[in-house]
């Protein structure tokens, strides 16, 4: 089929989805075109559970040849947190060859316009969605997420975030019309008349620097926002989580080529161990946009040194839950227990510090002392994770040895309210599965500060005793301001305290969840409705997804003619 008719077909097929996405980013209502249930896959060309597993297994031990120009080596070496060797090798780029090749396709991609770019992006997402089960294994065996989470967060939720970015990109590029007639009256003389055309033009080549824990979920927003705004996109995955993004790049290249565009508009930059390729790429003049998820130190380095690029970062923060009072003590404990356990606390949104008044809290089950709250929460976690099968399904595996080391060190920081235990994984005996640790710290003691005011990424939380609600609010404010926060939670039945917590979050710019006691957790956000991060505190300089996330990825060139 000719390229033009492919574009036409894709528009007919995907325009309704785009329109719905454009509607929900305005209403913020619930919506997703990507099913969460594993059994929803298997029809209309999508892989079911068995086929997805088989596809993943077939990838192991192979060379993933993406057909990229300037490939000077084959690199790999990913080892699953579940212990299996993936054995996949990927192209290593000669960037002096690859970058010019990527730019070669940009004119046609720019000329295609915002709508065609959007529907091509939606076709890429559709084919990724069809292979959700295959991606689930790829995400599981790189991030250490349990299978169900890898399927949902690495599949439909990531695809939703990609689609959301495409919708924002389309909306932003089409706010200015393609063409305008401008007529300025001149009194009795003839008016001044100009015809003006406006074209969205890309910045250049965009770089996506992937992370270990959520390669697709954190990678897709930047990838699709940049591609939909006309940029070529170079994906530099985390060396421990290459496969999910390599598959993504392969699908993108396939769709682009089928639609008549240059496959090289999207390419992979896998690296040799210790090569530090991200640093080299980040300051290349061709790289005009960078999306990064990872450590604060490298995020800060990018913000300081990559002056030639628009830099969007998600770094580390210290997430706080302020516990003041509740009318559903059991629900609160259950909700917190789940939040602390999910993916072994290896989410950038997992609560770390639980601020609990020293004199205790009021609840529907009577007054509870600080010690009782800590003990009851420990029991709730133990109850939730008492069964090994359930624990494995919730916790997943520790993603790397650093997390394990931090977990082991944490119990020396204070009195342990809940000790971590090892959970055996029947299918993957090498997986390191650990339940979370809860450590009691005195918020008034200066020596405890070093612990609770640092991010301790992994299954480590602190029950921090505070002298008063005012102290809790002050500590919350200071934590957000100095350390950043992806999420803040609070439990209170007092309208005054609720307002005070809200005011701190508004002033310090953090996303707040209040009194969550049911099936929504502080560490989970839904695309199209929830913002992930605020972009206004040190944890991240961007939010997923808003207009600021896309508006700088393109520029508008105007041509005026009489």
Q: Which chain residues interact with a second copy by CB under 8 A? A: 25-30, 107, 110, 172, 175-177, 180-186, 192, 194, 196, 198-199, 201, 203, 303-304, 307, 502-503, 505-507, 509-520, 526, 529-531, 534-536, 543, 546-548, 551-552, 555-562
Q: Report CA torsion sign: 330, 336, 339, 344.
A: negative
Structure-token pair, residue 364: 């529907």
User: How many whole angstroms separate alpha carbon 490 and alpha carbon 522?
Assistant: 10
Beta bridge partners of 362: 325
User: How many whole angstroms separate alpha carbon 371 and alpha carbon 363?
Assistant: 14
Q: Which residues contact 436 (CB under 8 A, 6 or more apart)?
A: 340, 341, 344, 345, 381, 418, 420, 459, 460, 461
Q: How far is the CB of 330 from a second copy (least distance, A)?
A: 15
Helices (DSSP H) in 179-328: which residue ranges?
215-228, 243-258, 277-282, 296-305
Q: How far is the CB of 386 from a second copy (least distance, A)?
A: 23
Closer Cβ to a second copy, 63 or 305, answer by number: 305
Closer Cβ to a second copy, 35 or 87, answer by number: 35
Match 């390419």 to its residue by tokens. Answer: 267
Closer Cβ to a second copy, 177 or 274, answer by number: 177
Nearest partner of 215 among 183, 242, 254, 188, judged by Cα: 242
User: How many whole angstroms separate alpha carbon 555 and alpha carbon 553?
Assistant: 7
User: How many whole angstroms separate alpha carbon 86 and alpha carbon 101?
Assistant: 29
Closer Cβ to a second copy, 142 or 513, answer by number: 513
Closer Cβ to a second copy, 10 or 316, answer by number: 316
Is residue 103 within 8 A of residue 128, CB to CB? The reply is: no
Closer Cβ to a second copy, 100 or 536, answer by number: 536
Closer Cβ to a second copy, 280 or 517, answer by number: 517
Nearest partner of 466 among 322, 326, 352, 294, judged by Cα: 322
Q: How far is the CB of 502 from a second copy (least distance, A)?
A: 6
Q: Report CA torsion sign: 234, 128, 164, 123.
A: positive
Say what angle helices 215-228 and 132-143 make with each other, to 10 degrees: 120
Closer Cβ to a second copy, 12 or 104, answer by number: 104
């Amino acid at each position: 089929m000719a390229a033009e008719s492919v574009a036409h077909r894709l528009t007919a097929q995907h325009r309704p989805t785009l329109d719905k996405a454009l509607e929900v980013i305005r209403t913020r209502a619930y919506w997703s075109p990507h099913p969460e249930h594993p059994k929803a896959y298997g029809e209309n060309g999508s892989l079911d559970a068995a086929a997805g597993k088989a596809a993943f297994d077939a990838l192991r031990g192979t060379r993933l040849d993406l057909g990229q120009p300037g490939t000077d080596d084959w690199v790999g070496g990913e080892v699953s947190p579940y212990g299996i060797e993936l054995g996949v090798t990927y192209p290593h780029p000669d960037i002096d060859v690859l970058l010019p090749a990527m730019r070669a396709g940009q004119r046609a991609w720019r000329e295609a316009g915002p709508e065609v770019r959007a529907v091509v992006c939606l076709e890429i997402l559709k084919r990724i969605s069809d292979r959700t089960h295959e991606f689930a294994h790829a995400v599981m065996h790189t991030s250490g997420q349990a299978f169900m989470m890898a399927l949902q967060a690495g599949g439909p939720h990531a695809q939703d975030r990609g689609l959301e970015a495409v919708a924002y990109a389309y909306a932003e590029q089409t706010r200015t019309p393609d063409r305008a007639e401008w007529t300025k009256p001149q009194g009795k003389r003839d008016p001044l008349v100009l015809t003006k055309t406006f074209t969205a033009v890309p910045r250049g080549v965009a770089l996506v620097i992937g992370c270990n824990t959520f390669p697709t979920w954190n990678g897709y927003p930047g990838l699709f926002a940049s591609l939909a705004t006309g940029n070529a996109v170079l994906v530099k995955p985390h060396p421990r989580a290459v496969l999910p993004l390599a598959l993504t790049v392969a699908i993108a290249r396939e769709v682009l080529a089928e639609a008549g565009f240059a496959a090289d508009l999207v390419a992979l930059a896998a690296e040799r161990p210790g090569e530090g390729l991200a640093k080299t790429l980040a300051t290349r003049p061709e790289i005009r946009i960078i999306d990064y998820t990872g450590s604060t130190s490298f995020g800060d380095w990018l913000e300081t040194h990559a002056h030639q690029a628009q830099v969007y970062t998600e770094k580390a923060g210290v997430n706080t839950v302020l516990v003041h009072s509740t009318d559903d003590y059991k629900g609160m404990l259950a909700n917190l227990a789940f939040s602390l356990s999910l993916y072994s606390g290896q989410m950038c949104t997992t609560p770390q510090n639980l601020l609990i008044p020293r004199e205790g809290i009021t609840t529907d089950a009577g007054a509870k002392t600080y010690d009782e709250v800590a003990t009851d929460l420990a029991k709730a976690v133990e109850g939730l994770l008492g069964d090994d099968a359930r624990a494995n399904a919730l916790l997943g595996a520790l993603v790397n040895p650093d997390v394990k080391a931090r977990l082991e060190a944490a119990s020396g920081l204070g009195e342990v309210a809940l000790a971590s235990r090892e959970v055996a994984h029947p299918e993957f005996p090498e997986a390191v599965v650990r339940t979370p640790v809860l450590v009691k710290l005195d918020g008034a003691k200066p020596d405890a500060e070093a612990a609770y005011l640092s991010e301790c990424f992994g299954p480590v939380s602190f029950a921090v005793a505070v002298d008063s609600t005012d102290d809790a609010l002050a500590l919350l404010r200071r934590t957000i301001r100095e350390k950043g926060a992806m999420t803040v939670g609070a439990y209170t039945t007092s309208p005054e305290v609720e307002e005070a917590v809200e005011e701190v979050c508004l002033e310090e710019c953090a996303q707040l969840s209040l009194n969550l006691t049911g099936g929504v957790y502080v560490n989970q956000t839904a695309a199209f409705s929830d913002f992930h991060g605020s972009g206004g505190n040190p944890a991240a300089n961007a939010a997923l997804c808003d207009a600021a996330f896309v508006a700088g990825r393109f520029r508008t060139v105007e041509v005026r003619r009489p």
